[in-house]
Amino acid sequence: MLVGNYSGKAATGGAQKSGAVDCGLLLVKGNVSTGESGSEKRIQWNENQRLVGSFSADVHKSLTQLIGGGGSGVKTTGGTLVFPVEATKKENSTEGKEMEKTVSLILYSPDNKSWTLSKGMSDGGCSNPSVVEWGKDGKLIMMTACDDGRRRVYESGDKGDSWTEALGTLSRVWGNKQGESVKHVGSGFITATIDGVDNRSVMLVTLPVYVKKTEVVDAETVNPKSELHLWLTDNTHIVDIGSVSSDEDDAASSLLYKRSTIGDDNGENKEELIALYEKKADGETPSLDVVPVRLTAELEEVKKVLKTWKEVDERVSKLCLSSIAADGTSPQNACSIPMPTDGLVGFLSGNFSDDTWRDEYLG
């Protein structure tokens, strides 16, 4: 677990002038143990390691501060540990004045001993990063909350040496609450291989959705309300599974998907999807509670959507062959291969809803 060590001492003197990274990060290691009953499990946090000497003063000379990003990290298929982090970067404005902006990047280690801070980073003003590994090529995907009111998503195939914004797929699909006094919140962002639907890999996201609901306050004011929603995507299609919280629960969240086998090797698979989010506590004190929620019904809805995607893929892939058979057209003069479905965002068929073509992938 990566945590911040807030001592209240900022970089001073030569370190601050040179732009050297002031690192207050601790890597905390723990051991999972089982109690006497066999069902109780505990984590004993017994080792703290301060991450110093891992950052290049030349490569990261524009960074003045480094803190934990607060989002989830990942262990890649190659065994590399990856954590998202935030940094403060010095930039020059259009007027030539020096200013500081938050950027998101990653910290990684192939052996859990030596740590490297990525050379590449997000655009300025993007914070609260979460990172996952995705696809057969093992690229990293990083989601951030940015000052322009959008969730920007970046991809990297070189361990963060360079980041490309995922325009056209996931980036800027979701928005943030806007305003100077608004604090951005981290999202739950994980990958999961869902059992029962060809073991299909997907990404699951929890993010607040801001909806205008009529609520009169002081006989005049109408306040927008927010709810935490679960989203499903395969990096092509995106579906809102629905709300997982009450009104005004728009704080930070995280997700956990767990699959285990009950009994022997041929036993039944047990799946759990759990969301953990901050909830505004009742009373006059503006404190936050942490609420865990088992998303059993939502997981079943995810499986239903994945089944629909599979059925539509199979149907669409046969469209060319079906048209050839029906028209008796020579394959040399018509489509001779199945319709490709990789990267197909939607399929508008002859099914209508209120005079509007319906996307088959949305059910």
* 169, 185, 201 - which closes a domain: 185
Q: Is 305 helix (H, G, I), strand (E, B) or coil?
A: helix
- Asked, for residue 170, whether it belongs to a domain, the answer is yes
Question: Does position 48 have pLDDT exceeding 80, yes or no?
Answer: yes
**Mean pLDDT for the stretch of residues 249-266:** 77
Say which residue, 343 or 59, is predicted with more confidence: 343
CATH of the domain at 123: 2.120.10.10
**Mean pLDDT for the stretch of residues 213-228:** 61
Domain containing residue 352? 312-362
What is the per-residue pLDDT across 149-202, written as a single tens digit (0 to 9) for each?
Answer: 899 999 999 999 999 999 989 999 988 666 555 567 888 999 999 877 777 899
165 and 20 housed in the same domain: yes
179 and 318 housed in the same domain: no
- Looking at this protein, which amino acid is placed at residue 194? I
- Asked, for residue 264, whether it belongs to a domain, the answer is no
Work out the pLDDT band at 282, boundaries 50, 70, 90: low
156 and 15 housed in the same domain: yes
Work out the pLDDT band at 13, boundaries 50, 70, 90: very low
Q: Which residues contact 5 (CB under 8 A, 6 or more apart)?
A: 24, 25, 26, 50
The count of domains in the chain is 2
Nearest to 188 by CA among 249, 125, 119: 249
- Asked, for residue 280, whether it belongs to a domain, the answer is no
Question: Does position 42 have pLDDT exceeding 70, yes or no?
Answer: yes
- What's the confidence (pLDDT) of residue 218? 55
23 and 166 housed in the same domain: yes
> Measured in whole angstroms, how far is the alpha carbon of residue 72 from the centre of its chain?
8
Rounded to a whole number of angstroms, the CA Rg of the chain reads 24
Answering whether pTM is above 0.75, one says: yes
* 185, 203, 228 - which closes a domain: 185
- Asked, for residue 283, whether it belongs to a domain, the answer is no
* 168, 185, 202 - which closes a domain: 185
- Asked, for residue 121, whether it belongs to a domain, the answer is yes
Count of CB atoms situated within 10 Å of the CB of 305 = 21
321 and 178 housed in the same domain: no
* 55-69, 130-144, 271-285: least confident range: 55-69
End-to-end CA distance of the chain: 40
- Asked, for residue 90, whether it belongs to a domain, the answer is yes
323 and 177 housed in the same domain: no
